[in-house]
Amino acid sequence: MLDSRPTRSTELPHLESLLNAHKLCFNDLESQGVELFSVTKDNKPVGYFGYEVFGENALFRSFIVVPEEQGKNYGVHIWNMAKEQLKERKVKHVYLLTNTATDFFAKVGYTLFERAQVPESIAQTSEFVTFCPSDSICMRYEIE
């Protein structure tokens, strides 16, 4: 069984290293408003995810399964954990930017979304403004 908890500051170097190795945004993980979570199985790291919440909208970010645990369907389980957290927070629309995981996110229900149409609160995040390339693919998930 997978468990999630807020990421500890001592885990940030590991998370940053993983994200950097996979060419994912890691520059602003400690910024105000970024909430990060560690996912473990038997107290062993399986993956991480994060988000920023802006009322009914959220930016999903910093999502990764540790390399030695990939291919075990943990990504879907981790997304479902994140989705339940966001649902409890009354989030209705979840946005993300990706260059590498479009197929995965489509598989779990995200759809392509025009980057220029995201809410201003999302468009003004450092991930949208500074850290993700302008050719990143924007996607949206609707929480029911």
More confident residue, 78 or 17: 78
- Whether pLDDT at 143 is above 90: yes
Domain range 2-142, CATH architecture: 3-Layer(aba) Sandwich (3.40)
C-alpha distances (whole Å) from 13 to each of 9, 18, 62, 92, 115 are 8, 9, 13, 31, 30
Predicted structure pTM score: 0.90
pLDDT at residue 63, as a whole number? 87
pLDDT at residue 84, as a whole number? 97
Domain spans of the chain?
2-142
Query: What pLDDT digit, counting tens, does each position of 16-53 carry?
Result: 888 877 776 666 666 677 899 999 999 999 999 999 99
Q: How far is residue 125's CA from residue 115's CA, in Å, rounded to a whole number? A: 13
